[in-house]
Structure 1
Amino acid sequence: MAAALVGRDDELDAIARVLPGGALLLTGVTGIGRSTLLDAAADRAATTGGLVLRGSGTPFEADLPYAGLHQLLWPLRAEVGGLDPAHRDALRAALGLDAGPCADRLVVATASLTLLTRAAPVLLIVDDLHRLDPASAAVVGFVARRLGDSGAALLAATDAAGDPTGIGVLEVGPLRERAASALVAEHFPDLAEPARRRVLATARGNPLALRELPAALTSAQRSGAQALPDPLPLGPRLAASYGARLDRLPPPTRRLLLLVALDGPGALAYAGDLADLLPAERAGLVTVDGCRVRFRDPLARSAVVALAPPGERRAAYRVLAERDDRPERRAWHLAKATLGPDERVAGLLMKAAHAHRRRGDAAGAYAAMVRAADLSPRGADRSRRLAEAASVRADVDLHGVSRLLGDARQADPGRRGSLPAAVASALLVLNGDGDVDAAHRLLVNALDDRDPAQVDALHALLAVCALGGRDELWAPFHAAVARLRPGPPPLLALGASLVADPARATPTDLALLDDMIGRLHDEPDPSRVAAVGRAALFTDRMSACREAHRRVVREGQRGGAAVAVIRALVNLSVDGVRTGRWAEAMRLAAEGRALCAAHGYRILRWPLAFGEALVAAGRGDDEATRAITARMLRWAARHGARSVTRSAHHALAVAALGQGDAEEAYRHATQVSPPGVLAANAPLALWSAIDLVESAACTGRRAEAVAHAAALGRVALLSPRLALASATATATVDPSDDRFTAALAVPGGERWPFDLARLRLAYGEWLRRRHATTPAREQLGAAARAFERLGAAPWAARARAELRAAGTSGSAGAAALTPQEREIALLAATGLTNKEIGQRLHLSHRTVGAHLYRVFPKLGIGSRAALRDALTLGGPAGTVSGRAASRNQLP
């Protein structure tokens, strides 16, 4: 039974308990799945060899006494002759087998119960019990109350309130959200995410609606290429069900319901006599509270609109337009009341679209622009509005943008490409097979200081330049920003400084950023929140932006600008990496990747991959680090994205330092920025600077280390994290107790647990080399514990190895191993596999693996590569892995 149903385990269990004998009445609204549950019960009874008798009520037979009983018992007509004469004659007359008057109902009911008991095991199924003729309904109720342990069972279903049979009731409710999502995914796997959300919200767990609502959409609407209608159209069974209820309402009630449905919930003082709504309230369609009217469920609203004739809908929209003083609502009402082209209405809709956009409602702005284009009499206006709709659509979902641009060109073939069209085209290029240079040319060639869309185009150009990460790309951008009069808007000015080159930010830039961060709690535009967050991320101020970003993600899950949601997830994820919340960072990155795939945003995968690569590097997952960075480097090389290249090298530098391979780390760190200078237009130079200083110092490149520490010192005032990094770099190139102590005392250092643990590790290593073992153990123990909390296994192993060299085995050490664990660990340290170790010790490879699983935490290590040093307490200090043995090693 469960195999054919989703989310109905509880209901199926309740039915299964009845099947040996007894009765149960299923109740619930139309489409909730009562009949499907009855089908499942019938299948189960048939597979166990039982007899299944089925019948259902219908209005056409409601006046025929025992018509329902005839359906149910007709397969047993041959068995009626075996009853005693009184019961036989009564039942034959009721079933129409003999002419003559029907016997008393009690006799017919008793005869039916006897017949069913003799036929056991038997399952009697009655669907739509509320439509059964009264005589049959009385017999069904009589039988249901007397089946007991007879081996006969009865299941009935009704949408009527109460229990006319007097037996147990199972109320079939809506599917839970997960089950509803699974049902939609099963039947419509390619349904676009915005459409899926609308279907789930409208259906509210009604299985019939979950299947019929998507089916009623066009293929373009299901794919996301076309806006969804409001309300959603109904399927045939839902329309028939609600249509029957609406047909019973008086015409004034239906007219008023249509106004309510088209206008949505709200005060209806203008709508006429609310007493006209009482029949709809009694029918369970709406609730009336004062002058506020609400539909009990979205399906009822959809039915009222879908079943109204088109002429009545347009007339209702005209009424609403006349009485609504809200400009945006009035524009929409007029648009829906208008059949042919109308420039006045199109102009009002464009004003509404720009108001939507100022509030951050990209989806609403897009829908208004497309409708305005439809109503535009002139081809030039239609083309311009479609191009603008394409640029807005690109922030919502890339699917359909290409089609919109094609429609814009077709509407006015002689028109020169517009700035909005260039913005949309550049995004298509970047997310397709094009490269940064092609997108850059598109935007630069389209720039026009007189065009109101110039600022939007410059924001797009800013993103392209940042992705490219090359100096030559920025010159046209900065020149165009400088030409803006009376000057660039604050958000663009922020991007031009703190996103382009945060290492050279001025106090004025930081003051502007802090002011904009302070206003984020009131900022309605998710794109602006994400843009401020990006500048905050590069200057280590994301902690003050997190709640606004989480709001963007929460609200974005209900629809809207997918780009803003993904960028918010990028900011939160990378911030989580920097602040030590690695598990959260990975979860957010996975959520962002899913949105990128659903909406076609390929370029936004890479900042998410950057965060994942950093976590993999910190955890010592060498395979994942190399796989992720290899993909990043390949894509960046093909598309000219230097920033993605730098991101990959930064992650690889962290991974190499964790493994103790300073030479490899230096090679990667200098790919982010050359030694002695924080590369211009390379924000990652701020994050990777400490990697370069540490690896240079460890490989004997003192001059490079000193020069880079000095460069880092010049930006120390940008943020507490950079102050911590600068102090750490100073102590690394010229170590002393005072310098390390000063670095540990930097305010706010605890907000960056990985950076702080690296400082403690460096301090502990220096103290241990000076034979100050007691303070060395204090710093190294704190570093090891911090790395272990983060899950930074190779770094924790480095700290534990230093602890052993300082005369302690850490939290457990080799002394805590059992003899067999030590023997297995020693063999594993030589490079033998689990299978080879098992063959030597006459153990299974699984047993060997189990022992090693317990050995690693005892030794404070995270990989087999660290076993040799963990077991050799007298070995050379600082040796972390065989990989580093032939290269420059960390001290």
Structure 2
Amino acid sequence: MDQLWPARPAPHRGARPAPAGSRRAPAGLVGRDHELAELADFVGRVRTESEVRLVTGDRGIGKSALLTAGARLAAAAGLTVLRTRGAAAEADLGYAGLNRLLLPVAGELVVVPPGPRRTLETAIGLREGPSPTPLVVGTALLELMWRLSASRPVLLVVDDAARLDGPTAAALTFTAARLAAVPVGIVFAFAARPDGLDLAAEEWTLTGLDEHAAAELVDREFPDLAPVWRRRAVVLAEGNPRGLLEIAAAALAERVADRQGSGPTVTDAFRRLVEARLAGLAPADRDFALITALEGVGDLRMVEAALTVLRGEQTVRAEPSRRVGLVVAQDRVSFVDPVIQAAVVAASGGERRRQAHAALASVLSAHPARHAWHLAEAAVGPDELVARRLDDVGALAAQDGDATTAERVYSRAADLSTDPAGRATRLARTAGLRAFTGDCTGAATLLSRARWAHPAITQTPLYACVAVQIVIEGGGDLDAAYRLLAGALATAVDEPADDALFAGLRQLARLCALTGRADHWAEHDRLLRLVRPQPPAFLRATATLAQAGISAATGELPPAEPLPRQVAALLAGCAERPDQELVRHAGFVLASIDQLAGLRHWVVRAVVNGRELPITRGRLASLGHLCLDQLWSGHWDQAGLLVAEGLALIEAAGLAAEAWPFHYVDGMLAAARGDVDAASTAAGELAGWSASRAAGAVNLLASRLRALAALAAGDAEDALRHALVVGAAPVAGAVLAGERMAATLDLADAAARLGRPELARLRVAALADDEAVGGSTRLALVAAVSQALVAPVDAAGPLFEAALRLVDDPSPRWPGGPQAELWPFERARARLACGEWLRRRRSTVRAAGQLKLAEEAFTALGAHAWARRANKELAATGQGRRPGQGGLTPQELQIAELAASGLTNRQIAERLFVSPRTVGAHLHRVFPKLGITSRAALRDALVQRAPAC
């Protein structure tokens, strides 16, 4: 019997997507908080009125699990819950679905008048007689619903409704359309809204889990799965929970560790299931499914053209089969489940699969990358020509940041290589991509294979770059990594430069920045000068900016070229060729000299695009640069969210070597807000990271955090101690220039507060030269304020005036774009220092003006420890604001009351559907408004607060 509700591939035009959650929901579901909330609301409405809902979504998306959770919610709320589901084996059994639905209440059919009762009993097999029509059964079912709902609301749950037998489907449709105002709800679950369904019901399309929820599901079900495979499962399943668990189970059970990006691995049981389904199809339909699985893009015309070539017939027509998960929408064809797609490929014979690839290659000549890939897969043996074509494909994928595709392509190219040197090079490139995505064990294995293929590969920059990355990720000594890479580059610079050499020089620059050693930078510069032909502008800019960092730290080696020209070269390079690696390197350079704002467009694009791709070092680097940009521009809440995202990605990918920038930004946020414990924790993370790797530059950043946190806490002695460490540290390098010189303000502030300005004057004097501050608005401001703080009293006035001019007119002198929105924290500190000085000079009116502006800026940022310091000074002028005078917003009041009740930030976040970090940010603003400094004082403060709050 034909199904009454044939499935349709595309969702109904009026459907709205179900909101996607990202946290574990009640009832054991993950990532379905919003969906369960919708169901709970639906159940609540059913208590007083009729409701019909269609839940649609791909196979395996979680419809059944969600319906089960909804049924439990309804039962807990006191509803009568009746369930049924369609089954292919019962499609020809009339009223089989109705039988399953009504058997639990068969004893209650007595409440229905005799006529309808006999109809229902006959339909579900409790009474002999001719089968009634769906119209009669639907009328009787409607009568039953009216009677049952008179005592308790009723919920009917119909899962896999497309597979119901025809009579049941027709009867249920009839009933659903005529429920009127009785308290009865019906939920139907379909893969897609059927074309023939004429029912006025709200449709809710269930979408896949987001990346965080998918990762949480895998972690819960497979806690022992390696991080790299957890990440692959999340990427490959595309949010489909069943596909996600199938891939994870296969990886764990079969210890899959072959080739990253080769597609989902299918268990034997699942493959046998798909093989059985394929066996029931016509030969042309089986080939159609195979070509669709291999084609990958979903272009129906290309699939049909390749099918014609494969079958050797003039025109071949095949029908996409839902039995193997194929759906067609207009000119697109795809599988509803990526695991089914992989299983179709796995179930095909090797020879037929090769022939299908050859057919696809023959029709994709206008698409070089796809053409080359299918040629490679159709090859029956080594083919150097095809391998070279794949080299081009891999290079394009890597440039686009798609490391998984690039790795798969290079790996296949290595398999096809006839030249040992070419094979070794391709294996080394594959290893580099493995390391780039965090799989250093796999990368080491591939490097070993490359050495066996061609021992001379060990002398190349390509090999050295990968080896260095493995050393860094493993916590190895950076000095040893530097010597390894510098040695390889010293040999390579005698030959004409290529991309591998330039990549090696970029890696060497990053190593120099982490070690902070002047001799390392000097060797980097020497190697760069030997490169022929001349290296790209952005590499020359690295050398210039490195020299600027050394000059700022030691007073030696002045820049060889004007820095603004080099900044312009970097920005132009990103505009001309905005690939992920170039943006990563430019961000590293520009972050060192406070010029990230000019790169913001490209960094944001790299971060957004990267979210659609597997986690890589390049993606994390861009995310780290965006964190710094948001920190510097005063968007601290956003910076905090980005930090949390970055650290979560690092944990998921196992890329610990990329964690230090996020810990630094996290610590800076905590220190500026006066959270000494959090800042100390971040400083400890930085110190621990740097200790095993001998990364002096990173260790210096830990001291910077401790100094700023101590200042916020009012401990000038401790701040001075740590600030002196920053100033005296024997490190040099561009990456440190901006942050190290900005720390001079911490030193000057602490020394001035202790009445010992002479301790800071030597370091402050180094900032007097405009070349030393490199044209940075922030560093020029820091230099001016620091000089004013440590100057003799009679000389400080003009210096503070100069600092205030910079505060009011932060015009850039470099091509990085406007900086008026940058450095709000530093500008507020400048006003605070000036206001304090003016108050001590008894210029109270002018002092109050600067102090009020400083307090407002600190409060807006959430730097409440600094705001309190400004308010204390302001109060001394007679114009201060009393603690607790500021009013609470409704959300601040709600969060404060929940915190006062004893809930943790995480518990508050779960209740209000926000992040714990957002809760913390609100509480940071609440404390100074209520005039308190601890969570324990919240309850009393709320009871006693003035009505103005």
Task: Measure how far apart 1:646 and its partner are.
Answer: 1.4
Partners of 2:70 and 2:352 in 1: CA distance:
45
Amino acid in the other structure paired with 1:462: A
What is the aligned counterpart of 1:552 among 603, 606, 613? 606
- Larger-Rg structure: 1
What is the aligned counterpart of 2:465 among 419, 423, 443? 423
Alignment deviations for residues 684-708 of structure 1 (CA, whole Å, 9 cap, x no partner): 4322233344445555666664443
Give the corresponding residue for 1:731: 788
Partners of 2:885 and 2:377 in 1: CA distance:
80
SS of 2:834's equivalent in the other structure is helix
Partners of 1:83 and 1:770 in 2: CA distance:
94
Amino acid in the other structure paired with 1:471: A
SS of 2:702's equivalent in the other structure is helix
Partners of 1:110 and 1:356 in 2: CA distance:
58
What is the aligned counterpart of 2:725 among 651, 671, 676? 671
Amino acid in the other structure paired with 2:834: Y
Give the corresponding residue for 1:778: 849
Give the corresponding residue for 2:482: 440
TM-score normalised by the chain length of structure 2: 0.72
| Change in 2 beyond 3 A, CA 1:340/1:11 | farther
Amino acid in the other structure paired with 1:455: F
What is the aligned counterpart of 1:605 among 659, 666, 688? 659
What is the aligned counterpart of 1:800 among 871, 883, 886? 871
- Does 2:374 align with 1:333? yes
Task: Measure how far apart 1:468 and its partner are.
Answer: 1.1
| Change in 2 beyond 3 A, CA 1:554/1:275 | farther
Instruction: Trace 1:27-426 onto structure 2 (pairs within 5 A).
Output: 28=56, 30-33=59-62, 35-36=64-65, 102=130, 105=133, 109=137, 131=163, 134=166, 169=201, 171=203, 173-175=205-207, 177-178=209-210, 183=217, 186-188=220-222, 207-212=241-246, 214-215=248-249, 226-229=259-262, 251=284, 255=288, 258=291, 262=295, 264-265=297-298, 268=301, 272=305, 279-280=319-320, 293=332, 295=334, 309-323=349-363, 324-377=365-418, 381-399=422-440, 400-409=442-451, 416=458, 418-426=460-468
Give the corresponding residue for 1:756: 827
Asked if structure 2 preserves the Cα contact closer than 8 Å seen for 1:620 and 1:794, the reply is yes
Amino acid in the other structure paired with 1:376: S
Amino acid in the other structure paired with 1:752: W
Partners of 2:136 and 2:930 in 1: CA distance:
80
Task: Measure how far apart 1:365 and its partner are.
Answer: 2.5
Asked if structure 1 preserves the Cα contact closer than 8 Å seen for 2:290 and 2:356, the reply is no
What is the aligned counterpart of 2:741 among 686, 693, 703? 686
Partners of 1:150 and 1:787 in 2: CA distance:
58
The more displaced of 42-51 and 706-715 is 42-51
Partners of 1:64 and 1:386 in 2: CA distance:
59
Amino acid in the other structure paired with 1:385: R
Amino acid in the other structure paired with 1:535: V
Asked if structure 1 preserves the Cα contact closer than 8 Å seen for 2:40 and 2:73, the reply is no
| Change in 2 beyond 3 A, CA 1:360/1:78 | closer
Alignment deviations for residues 426-455 of structure 1 (CA, whole Å, 9 cap, x no partner): 222222232222222322343322564333
Task: Measure how far apart 1:480 and its partner are.
Answer: 2.2
Equivalenced residue count is: 823
| Change in 2 beyond 3 A, CA 1:803/1:198 | same
Task: Measure how far apart 1:462 and its partner are.
Answer: 1.8
Alignment deviations for residues 504-559 of structure 1 (CA, whole Å, 9 cap, x no partner): 43553430222321443443311211221222222222111112111111111111
| Change in 2 beyond 3 A, CA 1:76/1:672 | closer
- Does 2:721 align with 1:721? no
- Does 2:504 align with 1:457? yes
| Change in 2 beyond 3 A, CA 1:460/1:113 | closer
Asked if structure 1 preserves the Cα contact closer than 8 Å seen for 2:627 and 2:662, the reply is yes
Amino acid in the other structure paired with 1:757: A
Asked if structure 2 preserves the Cα contact closer than 8 Å seen for 1:462 and 1:495, the reply is yes
Partners of 1:307 and 1:443 in 2: CA distance:
46
- Does 2:836 align with 1:765? yes
Alignment deviations for residues 106-164 of structure 1 (CA, whole Å, 9 cap, x no partner): 99959986997999999887665555555666666677789999999987666685598
| Change in 2 beyond 3 A, CA 1:615/1:24 | closer
Asked if structure 2 preserves the Cα contact closer than 8 Å seen for 1:94 and 1:108, the reply is no
- Percent identical residues: 34
The more displaced of 421-430 and 401-410 is 401-410
Instruction: Trace 1:427-826 onto structure 2 (pairs within 5 A).
Output: 427-447=469-489, 448-449=491-492, 450=494, 452=498, 453-499=500-546, 501-502=548-549, 503=552, 504-560=558-614, 562-674=616-728, 682-683=736-737, 684-696=739-751, 705-714=760-769, 715-716=772-773, 718-732=775-789, 733-734=791-792, 735-746=795-806, 747-748=809-810, 751-805=822-876, 807-812=877-882
Partners of 2:754 and 2:182 in 1: CA distance:
88
SS of 2:656's equivalent in the other structure is coil
- Larger RCO (CA under 8 A, 6+ residues apart): 2
Task: Measure how far apart 1:810 and its partner are.
Answer: 1.0
Partners of 1:48 and 1:282 in 2: CA distance:
38
| Change in 2 beyond 3 A, CA 1:728/1:242 | farther
Give the corresponding residue for 2:10: none
| Change in 2 beyond 3 A, CA 1:727/1:466 | same
Task: Measure how far apart 1:262 and its partner are.
Answer: 0.4
Amino acid in the other structure paired with 1:495: T
SS of 1:810's equivalent in the other structure is coil
Asked if structure 1 preserves the Cα contact closer than 8 Å seen for 2:63 and 2:206, the reply is no
CA RMSD of aligned residues (A): 5.1
Alignment deviations for residues 817-838 of structure 1 (CA, whole Å, 9 cap, x no partner): xxxxxxxxxxxxxxxxxxxxxx
Amino acid in the other structure paired with 2:130: C
Partners of 2:73 and 2:875 in 1: CA distance:
67
Gaps of at least 5 residues in structure 2 are 1-24, 309-313, 553-557, 812-819, 887-923, 936-949
Task: Measure how far apart 1:209 and its partner are.
Answer: 4.2
| Change in 2 beyond 3 A, CA 1:550/1:193 | farther
Asked if structure 1 preserves the Cα contact closer than 8 Å seen for 2:95 and 2:168, the reply is yes
Asked if structure 2 preserves the Cα contact closer than 8 Å seen for 1:195 and 1:221, the reply is no
The more displaced of 21-30 and 522-531 is 21-30
SS of 2:583's equivalent in the other structure is helix
Task: Measure how far apart 1:332 and its partner are.
Answer: 0.9
Asked if structure 2 preserves the Cα contact closer than 8 Å seen for 1:730 and 1:739, the reply is yes
Asked if structure 1 preserves the Cα contact closer than 8 Å seen for 2:61 and 2:240, the reply is yes
Give the corresponding residue for 1:879: none
Gaps of at least 5 residues in structure 1 are 817-851, 865-891
Alignment deviations for residues 853-878 of structure 1 (CA, whole Å, 9 cap, x no partner): 9995477x9689xxxxxxxxxxxxxx
Task: Measure how far apart 1:481 and its partner are.
Answer: 2.1
Partners of 1:193 and 1:562 in 2: CA distance:
13
Task: Measure how far apart 1:165 and its partner are.
Answer: 9.5
Partners of 2:66 and 2:787 in 1: CA distance:
73
Asked if structure 2 preserves the Cα contact closer than 8 Å seen for 1:260 and 1:293, the reply is no
SS of 2:638's equivalent in the other structure is helix
| Change in 2 beyond 3 A, CA 1:724/1:33 | closer
Partners of 1:525 and 1:854 in 2: CA distance:
43
